[in-house]
Protein backbone atom coordinates (compact mmCIF):
# COMPACT_ATOMS: atom_id res chain seq x y z
CA UNK A 1 0.00 0.00 0.00
CA UNK A 2 2.83 2.40 0.84
CA UNK A 3 4.41 1.63 -2.53
CA UNK A 4 1.09 2.40 -4.28
CA UNK A 5 0.70 5.77 -2.54
CA UNK A 6 4.33 6.61 -3.31
CA UNK A 7 3.69 5.91 -7.03
CA UNK A 8 0.61 8.13 -7.04
CA UNK A 9 2.54 10.90 -5.29
CA UNK A 10 5.38 10.75 -7.82
CA UNK A 11 2.92 10.84 -10.71
CA UNK A 12 1.16 13.91 -9.29
CA UNK A 13 4.49 15.60 -8.59
CA UNK A 14 5.48 15.12 -12.21
CA UNK A 15 2.16 16.54 -13.37
CA UNK A 16 2.57 19.65 -11.21
CA UNK A 17 6.19 20.21 -12.26
CA UNK A 18 5.73 19.71 -16.01
CA UNK A 19 2.12 20.72 -16.54
CA UNK A 20 -0.77 18.77 -18.08
CA UNK A 21 0.78 18.67 -21.55
CA UNK A 22 3.67 16.57 -20.27
CA UNK A 23 1.38 13.68 -19.36
CA UNK A 24 -0.63 14.05 -22.59
CA UNK A 25 2.30 13.00 -24.78
CA UNK A 26 1.66 9.49 -26.02
CA UNK A 27 2.92 9.15 -29.61
CA UNK A 28 6.42 8.05 -30.56
CA UNK A 29 8.27 8.48 -33.85
CA UNK A 30 11.73 7.46 -35.08
CA UNK A 31 13.47 10.19 -37.08
CA UNK A 32 15.51 9.38 -40.19
CA UNK A 33 16.95 12.31 -42.14
CA UNK A 34 18.86 10.02 -44.54
CA UNK A 35 16.03 7.82 -45.84
CA UNK A 36 15.76 9.73 -49.11
CA UNK A 37 18.08 9.10 -52.08
CA UNK A 38 18.42 12.34 -54.14
CA UNK A 39 18.65 12.41 -57.95
CA UNK A 40 21.83 10.97 -59.48
CA UNK A 41 24.78 13.27 -59.02
CA UNK A 42 23.21 15.21 -56.14
CA UNK A 43 24.13 14.83 -52.48
CA UNK A 44 20.92 16.54 -51.34
CA UNK A 45 17.63 17.49 -53.00
CA UNK A 46 18.65 21.11 -53.64
CA UNK A 47 17.74 24.54 -52.30
CA UNK A 48 14.40 24.21 -50.55
CA UNK A 49 11.96 26.86 -49.41
CA UNK A 50 8.96 24.78 -50.26
CA UNK A 51 6.60 22.06 -49.20
CA UNK A 52 6.00 18.32 -49.26
CA UNK A 53 2.96 16.14 -50.01
CA UNK A 54 2.03 12.48 -50.53
CA UNK A 55 -0.06 11.29 -53.48
CA UNK A 56 -2.84 8.68 -53.26
CA UNK A 57 -0.30 6.16 -54.63
CA UNK A 58 2.02 6.90 -51.71
CA UNK A 59 4.62 8.76 -53.77
CA UNK A 60 6.35 11.71 -52.11
CA UNK A 61 6.33 15.11 -53.86
CA UNK A 62 8.86 17.78 -52.82
CA UNK A 63 9.07 21.35 -54.15
CA UNK A 64 12.66 22.51 -54.67
CA UNK A 65 13.65 25.98 -55.86
CA UNK A 66 17.30 25.39 -56.75
CA UNK A 67 19.76 22.77 -57.99
CA UNK A 68 19.89 20.53 -61.05
CA UNK A 69 16.40 19.14 -60.41
CA UNK A 70 14.50 22.26 -59.33
CA UNK A 71 10.73 22.03 -59.47
CA UNK A 72 8.69 19.21 -57.97
CA UNK A 73 10.70 16.06 -57.34
CA UNK A 74 8.87 12.76 -56.96
CA UNK A 75 10.11 9.89 -54.77
CA UNK A 76 8.88 6.40 -54.01
CA UNK A 77 7.47 5.67 -50.57
CA UNK A 78 10.88 4.34 -49.50
CA UNK A 79 12.66 7.52 -50.64
CA UNK A 80 14.04 6.58 -54.07
CA UNK A 81 14.06 9.40 -56.66
CA UNK A 82 11.69 8.62 -59.53
CA UNK A 83 11.24 11.75 -61.65
CA UNK A 84 10.38 15.43 -61.72
CA UNK A 85 6.86 16.63 -62.51
CA UNK A 86 7.21 17.95 -66.10
CA UNK A 87 7.21 21.74 -66.42
CA UNK A 88 6.20 22.25 -62.78
CA UNK A 89 6.95 25.66 -61.24
CA UNK A 90 10.30 25.88 -59.51
CA UNK A 91 9.08 28.16 -56.74
CA UNK A 92 6.05 26.56 -55.09
CA UNK A 93 6.33 27.89 -51.56
CA UNK A 94 3.24 26.04 -50.42
CA UNK A 95 1.40 23.22 -52.16
CA UNK A 96 -0.90 20.31 -51.41
CA UNK A 97 -2.12 17.23 -53.25
CA UNK A 98 -5.87 16.82 -52.93
CA UNK A 99 -8.76 15.58 -55.01
CA UNK A 100 -10.64 18.03 -57.18
CA UNK A 101 -14.40 18.06 -57.57
CA UNK A 102 -13.94 15.41 -60.30
CA UNK A 103 -12.37 13.08 -57.65
CA UNK A 104 -8.98 13.13 -59.40
CA UNK A 105 -5.85 14.14 -57.44
CA UNK A 106 -4.23 17.46 -58.28
CA UNK A 107 -1.37 19.65 -57.12
CA UNK A 108 -2.61 23.02 -55.86
CA UNK A 109 0.15 25.51 -55.11
CA UNK A 110 1.22 29.13 -54.81
CA UNK A 111 4.18 30.38 -56.82
CA UNK A 112 6.25 32.68 -54.61
CA UNK A 113 8.15 34.50 -57.35
CA UNK A 114 5.49 34.80 -60.05
CA UNK A 115 2.65 35.25 -57.52
CA UNK A 116 0.28 32.83 -59.16
CA UNK A 117 -2.07 30.19 -57.86
CA UNK A 118 -1.78 26.98 -59.87
CA UNK A 119 -3.64 23.70 -60.24
CA UNK A 120 -1.80 21.00 -62.15
CA UNK A 121 -2.34 17.29 -62.67
CA UNK A 122 0.19 14.88 -61.21
CA UNK A 123 1.63 14.41 -64.70
CA UNK A 124 2.28 18.15 -65.00
CA UNK A 125 -0.73 19.07 -67.13
CA UNK A 126 -1.79 22.63 -66.32
CA UNK A 127 -5.43 22.88 -65.29
CA UNK A 128 -5.87 26.33 -63.75
CA UNK A 129 -3.79 29.48 -63.20
CA UNK A 130 -5.02 32.39 -61.10
CA UNK A 131 -2.81 35.50 -61.12
CA UNK A 132 -2.54 37.30 -57.79
CA UNK A 133 -3.69 40.42 -59.64
CA UNK A 134 -7.17 38.86 -59.38
CA UNK A 135 -7.17 40.04 -55.76
CA UNK A 136 -9.01 43.38 -55.47
CA UNK A 137 -6.82 46.45 -55.21
CA UNK A 138 -7.98 47.23 -51.68
CA UNK A 139 -6.27 44.05 -50.42
CA UNK A 140 -2.98 44.68 -52.18
CA UNK A 141 0.14 46.34 -50.80
CA UNK A 142 0.82 49.81 -52.17
CA UNK A 143 4.12 50.45 -50.36
CA UNK A 144 6.85 51.37 -52.80
CA UNK A 145 9.35 48.60 -53.34
CA UNK A 146 7.16 45.82 -51.92
CA UNK A 147 5.16 43.25 -53.88
CA UNK A 148 1.43 43.86 -54.13
CA UNK A 149 0.87 40.37 -52.73
CA UNK A 150 3.23 37.76 -51.33
CA UNK A 151 1.27 34.52 -51.31
CA UNK A 152 2.57 31.65 -49.20
CA UNK A 153 0.00 28.93 -48.48
CA UNK A 154 -3.03 27.19 -49.97
CA UNK A 155 -5.97 25.00 -48.97
CA UNK A 156 -8.92 23.58 -50.93
CA UNK A 157 -12.38 22.95 -49.48
CA UNK A 158 -14.49 19.91 -50.48
CA UNK A 159 -16.62 22.08 -52.79
CA UNK A 160 -13.49 23.16 -54.66
CA UNK A 161 -13.13 26.64 -53.17
CA UNK A 162 -9.47 27.69 -52.99
CA UNK A 163 -8.04 29.65 -50.05
CA UNK A 164 -4.61 31.33 -50.24
CA UNK A 165 -2.66 33.24 -47.60
CA UNK A 166 -0.79 36.49 -48.22
CA UNK A 167 1.58 35.43 -45.48
CA UNK A 168 4.62 37.48 -46.45
CA UNK A 169 2.43 40.43 -47.33
CA UNK A 170 -0.65 41.94 -45.69
CA UNK A 171 -1.85 38.71 -44.00
CA UNK A 172 -5.18 38.55 -45.82
CA UNK A 173 -6.69 35.23 -46.88
CA UNK A 174 -8.21 35.24 -50.37
CA UNK A 175 -10.95 32.88 -51.51
CA UNK A 176 -11.64 31.72 -55.08
CA UNK A 177 -14.08 29.21 -56.50
CA UNK A 178 -12.99 26.07 -58.36
CA UNK A 179 -12.98 27.96 -61.65
CA UNK A 180 -10.63 30.64 -60.33
CA UNK A 181 -13.26 33.34 -59.85
CA UNK A 182 -12.61 35.64 -56.89
CA UNK A 183 -15.13 35.31 -54.01
CA UNK A 184 -13.90 37.25 -50.97
CA UNK A 185 -11.01 38.25 -48.71
CA UNK A 186 -10.74 38.24 -44.93
CA UNK A 187 -8.10 38.24 -42.22
CA UNK A 188 -5.32 40.80 -42.12
CA UNK A 189 -3.41 42.42 -39.30
CA UNK A 190 -6.45 44.01 -37.67
CA UNK A 191 -9.03 42.63 -35.24
CA UNK A 192 -10.39 40.04 -34.80
CA UNK A 193 -7.72 38.14 -36.75
CA UNK A 194 -4.63 40.14 -35.69
CA UNK A 195 -2.38 38.04 -37.92
CA UNK A 196 1.35 38.51 -38.08
CA UNK A 197 2.52 36.22 -40.88
CA UNK A 198 -0.40 33.88 -41.62
CA UNK A 199 2.06 31.54 -43.31
CA UNK A 200 0.05 28.43 -44.22
CA UNK A 201 -3.58 27.36 -44.13
CA UNK A 202 -5.39 24.02 -43.98
CA UNK A 203 -8.92 22.67 -44.10
CA UNK A 204 -9.46 21.08 -40.69
CA UNK A 205 -11.56 17.99 -41.35
CA UNK A 206 -11.53 16.89 -37.70
CA UNK A 207 -14.56 19.03 -36.92
CA UNK A 208 -18.15 19.21 -38.19
CA UNK A 209 -18.72 21.55 -39.85
CA UNK A 210 -15.17 21.62 -41.17
CA UNK A 211 -13.00 24.63 -40.40
CA UNK A 212 -10.03 26.58 -41.65
CA UNK A 213 -6.86 26.48 -39.59
CA UNK A 214 -4.11 29.07 -40.09
CA UNK A 215 -0.56 29.31 -38.77
CA UNK A 216 -0.15 32.78 -37.27
CA UNK A 217 3.61 32.31 -37.29
CA UNK A 218 4.97 35.39 -35.54
CA UNK A 219 2.40 35.00 -32.78
CA UNK A 220 3.33 31.32 -32.36
CA UNK A 221 -0.28 30.19 -32.55
CA UNK A 222 -2.87 28.41 -34.72
CA UNK A 223 -6.20 30.12 -35.41
CA UNK A 224 -9.50 28.41 -36.23
CA UNK A 225 -12.01 30.05 -38.59
CA UNK A 226 -15.15 28.94 -40.35
CA UNK A 227 -15.14 28.71 -44.14
CA UNK A 228 -16.29 32.33 -44.37
CA UNK A 229 -13.34 33.54 -42.31
CA UNK A 230 -15.09 34.21 -39.00
CA UNK A 231 -12.70 33.61 -36.11
CA UNK A 232 -13.69 30.68 -33.91
CA UNK A 233 -10.75 30.87 -31.55
CA UNK A 234 -7.11 30.01 -30.97
CA UNK A 235 -6.53 26.28 -31.31
CA UNK A 236 -2.92 26.20 -30.02
CA UNK A 237 -0.33 28.67 -28.81
CA UNK A 238 3.21 28.78 -27.39
CA UNK A 239 4.51 27.09 -30.53
CA UNK A 240 7.87 27.81 -32.19
CA UNK A 241 7.15 29.74 -35.40
CA UNK A 242 4.53 27.32 -36.78
CA UNK A 243 4.99 27.09 -40.55
CA UNK A 244 2.85 24.24 -41.87
CA UNK A 245 0.31 21.63 -40.78
CA UNK A 246 -0.85 18.13 -41.68
CA UNK A 247 -3.86 16.12 -40.48
CA UNK A 248 -4.17 12.37 -39.87
CA UNK A 249 -7.36 11.22 -38.18
CA UNK A 250 -7.65 13.40 -35.07
CA UNK A 251 -3.95 14.30 -35.09
CA UNK A 252 -2.50 17.60 -36.23
CA UNK A 253 1.23 17.74 -36.97
CA UNK A 254 2.88 21.16 -36.97
CA UNK A 255 6.21 21.99 -38.62
CA UNK A 256 7.84 24.71 -36.50
CA UNK A 257 10.54 26.81 -38.15
CA UNK A 258 12.36 27.21 -34.83
CA UNK A 259 13.63 23.63 -34.87
CA UNK A 260 10.78 21.33 -33.86
CA UNK A 261 7.76 19.27 -34.94
CA UNK A 262 4.78 19.02 -32.58
CA UNK A 263 1.81 16.65 -32.87
CA UNK A 264 -1.42 17.84 -31.26
CA UNK A 265 -4.67 16.04 -30.47
CA UNK A 266 -8.17 17.21 -31.36
CA UNK A 267 -8.39 19.14 -28.08
CA UNK A 268 -5.02 20.80 -28.57
CA UNK A 269 -3.16 18.47 -26.22
CA UNK A 270 0.49 17.72 -27.07
CA UNK A 271 0.86 14.11 -28.22
CA UNK A 272 4.51 14.32 -29.29
CA UNK A 273 7.39 16.76 -29.68
CA UNK A 274 10.06 15.64 -32.16
CA UNK A 275 13.57 16.77 -33.03
CA UNK A 276 13.56 19.74 -30.69
CA UNK A 277 16.65 21.89 -31.27
CA UNK A 278 17.42 24.60 -28.72
CA UNK A 279 20.60 25.89 -30.37
CA UNK A 280 19.59 29.42 -31.37
CA UNK A 281 22.43 29.62 -33.89
CA UNK A 282 21.10 26.64 -35.86
CA UNK A 283 17.35 27.14 -36.07
CA UNK A 284 15.04 29.36 -38.16
CA UNK A 285 17.66 29.73 -40.88
CA UNK A 286 18.41 28.09 -44.23
CA UNK A 287 22.17 28.38 -43.74
CA UNK A 288 22.86 25.15 -41.80
CA UNK A 289 25.17 23.11 -44.13
CA UNK A 290 24.97 19.30 -44.36
CA UNK A 291 28.22 18.76 -42.47
CA UNK A 292 26.61 20.29 -39.36
CA UNK A 293 23.39 18.25 -39.47
CA UNK A 294 22.80 16.10 -36.41
CA UNK A 295 20.48 13.12 -36.58
CA UNK A 296 17.50 13.52 -34.29
CA UNK A 297 17.37 17.31 -34.49
CA UNK A 298 15.52 19.73 -36.77
CA UNK A 299 16.81 23.07 -37.98
CA UNK A 300 13.97 24.80 -39.85
CA UNK A 301 10.90 22.61 -40.57
CA UNK A 302 8.88 24.35 -43.28
CA UNK A 303 6.59 21.73 -44.85
CA UNK A 304 4.98 18.59 -43.45
CA UNK A 305 2.77 15.72 -44.62
CA UNK A 306 1.44 12.38 -43.40
CA UNK A 307 1.65 9.23 -45.48
CA UNK A 308 -1.09 6.62 -45.51
CA UNK A 309 0.38 4.77 -42.53
CA UNK A 310 0.57 7.83 -40.30
CA UNK A 311 4.30 8.42 -40.73
CA UNK A 312 5.44 12.02 -41.16
CA UNK A 313 7.50 13.58 -43.95
CA UNK A 314 9.20 16.89 -43.16
CA UNK A 315 11.02 19.25 -45.49
CA UNK A 316 13.19 22.03 -44.07
CA UNK A 317 13.97 25.56 -45.17
CA UNK A 318 17.55 24.94 -46.23
CA UNK A 319 19.91 25.96 -49.07
CA UNK A 320 20.92 22.33 -49.58
CA UNK A 321 17.53 20.77 -48.83
CA UNK A 322 16.86 18.37 -45.97
CA UNK A 323 14.03 15.84 -45.92
CA UNK A 324 13.24 13.59 -42.94
CA UNK A 325 10.82 10.74 -42.33
CA UNK A 326 9.33 10.26 -38.88
CA UNK A 327 8.24 6.65 -38.62
CA UNK A 328 5.45 5.91 -36.18
CA UNK A 329 6.45 3.38 -33.51
* pLDDT one-digit tens code per residue, 213-272: 999 999 999 999 999 999 999 999 999 999 999 999 999 999 999 999 999 999 999 999
Task: For residues 163 and 200, give the distance between their C-alpha atoms in angstroms, rounded to a whole number.
Answer: 10
* Predicted model pTM: 0.92
The CATH class, in words, for 24-328 is: mainly beta
* Every domain of the chain and the residues it spans: 24-328
- Give the residue among 218, 234, 300 at the shortest CA–CA distance from 261: 300
179-to-108, 152, 175 alpha-carbon distances in Å: 13, 20, 11
3-state secondary structure the chain: CHHHHHHHHHHHHHHHHHCHHHHHCCCCEEEECCCCECCCCCCCCCCECCCEEECCCCCEEEEECCCCCCEEEEECCCCEEEEECCCCCCCEEEEEEEECCCCCEEEEEEECCCCEEEEEECCCCEEEEEEHHHCCHHHCCCCCCCCCCCCCEEEECCCCCEEEECCCCCCEEEEECCCCCEEEEEECCCCCCCCCCEEEEEEECCCCCCEEEEEEHHHCEEEEECCCCCEEEEEECCCCCEEEEEEECCEEEEEECCCEEEEECCCCCEEEEECCCCCCCCCCCCCCCHHHCCCCCCCCEEEEEECCCCCEEEEECECCCEEEEEEEC
Tens of pLDDT along 2-55? 444 444 333 443 333 333 344 467 899 999 999 999 999 999 999 999 999 999
Tens of pLDDT along 93-121? 999 999 999 999 999 999 999 999 999 99
Tens of pLDDT along 162-216? 999 999 999 999 999 999 999 999 999 999 999 999 999 999 999 999 999 999 9
pLDDT band at 90 (very low <50, low <70, confident <90, very high): very high
Amino acid sequence: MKRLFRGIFLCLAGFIALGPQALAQELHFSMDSKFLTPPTGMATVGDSHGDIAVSPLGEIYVSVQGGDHAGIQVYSANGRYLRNVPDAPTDLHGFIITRGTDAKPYIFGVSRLTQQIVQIALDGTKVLTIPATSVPDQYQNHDTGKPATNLTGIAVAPNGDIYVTDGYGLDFIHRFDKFGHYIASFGGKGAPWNFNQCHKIAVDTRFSPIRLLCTDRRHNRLVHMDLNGHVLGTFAENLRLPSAMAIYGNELAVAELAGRVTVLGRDGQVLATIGENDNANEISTNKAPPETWREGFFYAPHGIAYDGAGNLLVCEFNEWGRISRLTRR
